[in-house]
């Protein structure tokens, strides 16, 4: 009787957490494309490292999608997610403000003294990829020009678009939201790091069917087409 008086918003001892929108924790670089793939899902976008930490701390996620294989594989080894699968790849580019006040004409110019460079922090996939590129090109000295280490790729793109930095490294797919505010420089041949996006069902999900359905939708022909239209490369 008490349950009836309390109404239908709660259930007597039952788990009412399932049956709602699937909770997807996803890399910030997926913020534009994932809602196109599943408009009904509930998304939390941030750096892949930050999201992995939240899952370790017990966040109620159903699906985890990262811009790297590192964190999904670590969580899999810790039995916190099911076996991850690769669903897309990306590439890095250098962006500068449209007005290009530092007169940057190539990637090598980011090492020039006085250049204000913004990159993502260590541990954030795009930040690690950036450091790999700089090392590959013999431009590690450019790290001395870093004026800000951002939590995710959106922070990097935003600061460059606003003219708060002279240059920054972002994923090619993150140029679209700031198009018209930045100029893009491709990386020299042979310096592009392998970028692998992986997705996994979180082991503690309250709605395994919904979580699996999201992953299937992501990897379906329609999902692949949507990813490609957004600039991702699908396997």
Nearest to 24 by CA among 65, 80, 78: 65
Do residue 81 and residue 102 come from a single domain?
A: no
What would the pLDDT profile of 87-101 be if each residue is shown by its tens digit?
999 999 999 999 999
Please report whether residue 2 resides in a domain.
no
Do residue 110 and residue 178 come from a single domain?
A: yes
CATH of the domain at 129: 3.40.190.10
Q: Which residues, at least 6 apart from 56, have a Cβ–Cβ distance to it below 8 Å?
A: 75, 78, 80
DSSP string of 164-213? SSSEEEEEGGGSGGGBTTEEEEEPPTT-PPP-EEEEEEBTT-S-HHHHHH
Do residue 72 and residue 126 come from a single domain?
A: no
Helix (H) or strand (E) holding 48: helix 48-56
Helix, strand or coil for residue 18? coil
What would the pLDDT profile of 94-137 be if each residue is shown by its tens digit?
999 999 999 999 999 999 999 999 999 999 999 999 999 999 99
Please report whether residue 82 resides in a domain.
yes
Determine the pLDDT at residue 125: 97
Please report whether residue 8 resides in a domain.
no
Helix, strand or coil for residue 55? helix
Q: Of the residues 151, 167, 186, which one is the last residue of a structural domain?
A: 186
Q: Tokens representing 148?
A: 């800000």
What end-to-end distance do the CA atoms of the chain give, in Å? 55
Determine the pLDDT at residue 19: 65
Cα 120 to Cα 170: distance, rounded to the nearest angstrom: 9
Do residue 122 and residue 179 come from a single domain?
A: yes
Burial of 125: CB neighbours in 10 Å, binned 0-12, 13-18, 19+:
buried
Total structural domains in the chain? 2
Phi/psi at 92 (5° precision): -90, 150
Do residue 177 and residue 140 come from a single domain?
A: yes
Determine the pLDDT at residue 15: 42
**Is there a contact between 92 and 184 (Cβ–Cβ < 8 Å)?**
no
Angle between helices 48-56 and 70-77 (to 10 degrees): 10
Please report whether residue 162 resides in a domain.
yes
**Structural domain harbouring 129:** 92-186
* Total residues belonging to the chain: 235
Determine the pLDDT at residue 20: 81
Please report whether residue 179 resides in a domain.
yes
Cα 121 to Cα 221: distance, rounded to the nearest angstrom: 34
Do residue 154 and residue 79 come from a single domain?
A: no
pLDDT-flagged residues of the chain (< 50): 1-17
Please report whether residue 144 resides in a domain.
yes
Proportion of the chain above pLDDT 70, given as a percent: 92
**Is there a contact between 152 and 125 (Cβ–Cβ < 8 Å)?**
no
Do residue 47 and residue 98 come from a single domain?
A: no
Q: Using a cut of 0.85, tell me whether the model's pTM lies above it.
A: yes
Do residue 139 and residue 166 come from a single domain?
A: yes
Nearest to 94 by CA among 165, 198, 34: 165
Do residue 54 and residue 85 come from a single domain?
A: yes
Do residue 114 and residue 179 come from a single domain?
A: yes
């Amino acid at each position: 009787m008490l349950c009836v008086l309390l109404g239908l918003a709660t259930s007597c001892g039952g788990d009412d957490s399932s049956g709602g929108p699937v909770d997807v924790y996803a890399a910030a670089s997926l913020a534009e494309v994932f809602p196109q793939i599943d408009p009904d899902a509930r998304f939390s976008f941030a750096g892949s490292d930050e999201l992995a930490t939240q899952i370790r701390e017990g966040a109620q996620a159903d699906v985890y999608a990262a811009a790297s294989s590192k964190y999904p594989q670590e969580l899999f080894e810790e039995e916190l997610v099911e076996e991850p699968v690769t669903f897309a790849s990306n590439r890095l580019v250098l962006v500068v403000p449209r007005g290009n006040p530092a007169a940057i004409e190539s990637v090598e110019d980011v090492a020039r003294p006085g250049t204000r460079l913004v990159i993502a922090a260590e541990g954030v996939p795009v930040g690690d990829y950036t450091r790999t590129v700089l090392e590959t090109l013999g431009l590690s000295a450019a790290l001395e020009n870093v004026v800000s280490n951002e939590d995710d790729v959106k922070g990097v793109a935003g600061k460059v678009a606003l003219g708060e930095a002279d240059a920054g490294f972002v994923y090619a797919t993150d140029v679209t939201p700031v198009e018209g505010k930045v100029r893009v420089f491709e990386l020299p041949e042979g310096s592009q790091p392998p970028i692998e996006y992986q997705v996994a069902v979180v082991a503690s999900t309250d709605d395994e069917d919904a979580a699996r359905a999201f992953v299937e939708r992501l990897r379906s022909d329609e999902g692949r087409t949507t990813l490609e239209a957004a600039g991702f490369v699908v396997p």
